[in-house]
């Protein structure tokens, strides 16, 4: 693997950082307090190309490679993980499945808007009773003539109140032969469909600027062509989407570790105690060294997984390793940063406490750290742990 970025990748990284330093970093504290990002940011993100990084040009995207996408997610994570979530869910968890499994009509209908940020998608998998066990979800879709009728509920759905389309996973199979994963299908549901309701979740620990909501489906009727992929293949679509989504989370966490490192170094160079910058003390240098090593390790694991995707090789285990390490590293780095900042790290005048709150959820969603360990262990032993 060549770790040298090509000219286009380097240029996009520089462009992304310049844009985010101007348009996101100065506002992230206010958005965190308000529990809402400025919606005027979304078309700006679209103009830069964040939403369409890997969507082909024929559908309005940039047609870039997967590593460029991951670089974008890292820069978004460094600036504000709430903004990263909006982009990665819409373009990654929704846009990529449409590109991989959608009909030409579905691609033409949804991808251009997703690519330019004028349409936002959400990923409706997690349910109140089934988080880490999506094979047994209860939301059901039944066939009624030429339509599907959906009933059920979802929870912790990123982008839900912003979204124009929801990728919803529902049980369509009946009988023992369609139990578990075999009976799940995927649907593209416009969020203005009658019976589709969204309830915003307030008071989150982190990612407060990112819209997170509960979804409810009461006789939500969609046409037959809303089915994404084949009937009964929804679980495969969901799992393949989450494998790539874990690489995006790893990139975002790498960005958090990078942000913690940069903030701590700057503070340690300027904050003085006992007549000297605190960065001159070995215990503070020890904290900085740990962050520096972890950001390199997280980035290498993440880029390795992205490279496997780009080369068309199996990447699921590599994605789990990257997500596990980077998410735990982000929690560790944010705690170290707060320790270095002392009392100032505990207030939101400085960003490190936000980094800690945002990092904590990364060990939970799109597969907890424990689930990643199970996946890695199963791959190493060849024994199915589920």
- Token pair 């874990």 is found at 246
Is residue 370 within a helix (H) or strand (E), and if so which, with residue range?
A: helix 369-381
348: which 2 tokens? 């939101």
The distance in angstroms from the start CA to the end CA of the chain is: 33
Closest CA to 76 of 56, 96, 49, 55: 49
Distance CA 3, CA 303 (A): 8
Catalytic residues: 366
* Number of CB atoms found within 10 A of residue 348's CB: 15
Give me the half-sphere count of Cα atoms (radius 13 Å) on the Cβ side of residue 73: 31
By CB atoms closer than 10 A (0-12, 13-18, 19+), residue 271 is middle
Q: What is the DSSP string of 304-318?
A: HHHHHHHTT---HHH
Q: What is the DSSP string of 77-125?
A: HHH-HHHHHHHIIIIIIIIHHHHHH--HHHHHHHHHHHHHTSS-EEEE-
Distance CA 77, CA 200 (A): 23
Is residue 248 within a helix (H) or strand (E), and if so which, with residue range?
A: helix 234-270
Distance CA 104, CA 203 (A): 41
Distance CA 235, CA 239 (A): 6
Distances from the Cα of 226 to the Cα of 56, 135, 221, angstroms: 22, 21, 10
Cβ–Cβ < 8 Å for 221, 192: no
């Amino acid at each position: 693997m060549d770790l040298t970025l090509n000219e286009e990748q380097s240029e996009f990284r520089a462009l992304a950082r310049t844009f985010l330093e101007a348009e996101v970093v100065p506002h992230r504290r206010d958005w965190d307090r308000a529990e809402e990002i400025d919606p005027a940011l979304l078309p700006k993100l679209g103009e830069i190309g964040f939403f369409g990084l890997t969507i082909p040009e024929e559908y309005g995207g940039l047609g870039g490679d997967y590593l460029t996408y991951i670089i974008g997610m890292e820069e978004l994570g460094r600036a504000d993980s709430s903004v990263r979530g909006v982009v990665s869910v819409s373009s990654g968890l929704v846009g990529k499945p449409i590109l991989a499994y959608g009909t030409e009509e579905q691609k033409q209908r949804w991808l251009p808007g997703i690519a330019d940020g004028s349409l936002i998608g959400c990923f409706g998998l997690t349910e109140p009773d089934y988080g880490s066990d999506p094979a047994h979800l209860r939301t059901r879709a039944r066939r009624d003539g030429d339509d599907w009728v959906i009933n059920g509920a979802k929870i912790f759905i990123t982008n839900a109140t912003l979204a124009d389309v929801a990728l919803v996973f529902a049980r369509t199979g009946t009988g023992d032969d369609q139990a578990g994963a075999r009976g799940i299908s995927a649907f593209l549901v416009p969020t203005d469909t009658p019976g589709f309701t969204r309830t915003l979740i307030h008071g989150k620990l982190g990612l407060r600027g990112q819209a997170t909501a509960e979804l409810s489906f009461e006789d939500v009727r969609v046409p037959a062509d809303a089915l994404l992929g084949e009937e009964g293949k929804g679980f495969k679509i969901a799992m393949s989407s989450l494998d790539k989504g874990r690489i995006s989370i790893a990139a975002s966490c790498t960005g958090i570790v990078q942000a913690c490192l940069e903030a701590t170094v700057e503070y340690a160079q300027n904050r003085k105690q006992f007549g000297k910058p605190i960065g001159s003390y070995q215990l503070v240098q020890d904290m900085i060294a740990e962050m520096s090593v972890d950001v390199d390790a997280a980035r290498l694991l993440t880029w390795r997984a992205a490279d496997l995707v780009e080369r068309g090789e199996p990447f699921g285990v590599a994605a789990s390793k990257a997500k596990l390490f980077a998410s735990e590293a982000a929690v560790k780095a944010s705690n170290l940063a707060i320790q270095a900042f002392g009392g100032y790290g505990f207030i939101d005048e400085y960003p490190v406490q936000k980094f800690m709150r945002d990092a904590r959820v990364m060990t939970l969603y799109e597969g907890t750290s424990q689930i990643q360990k199970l996946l890695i262990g199963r791959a190493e032993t060849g024994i199915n742990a589920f």
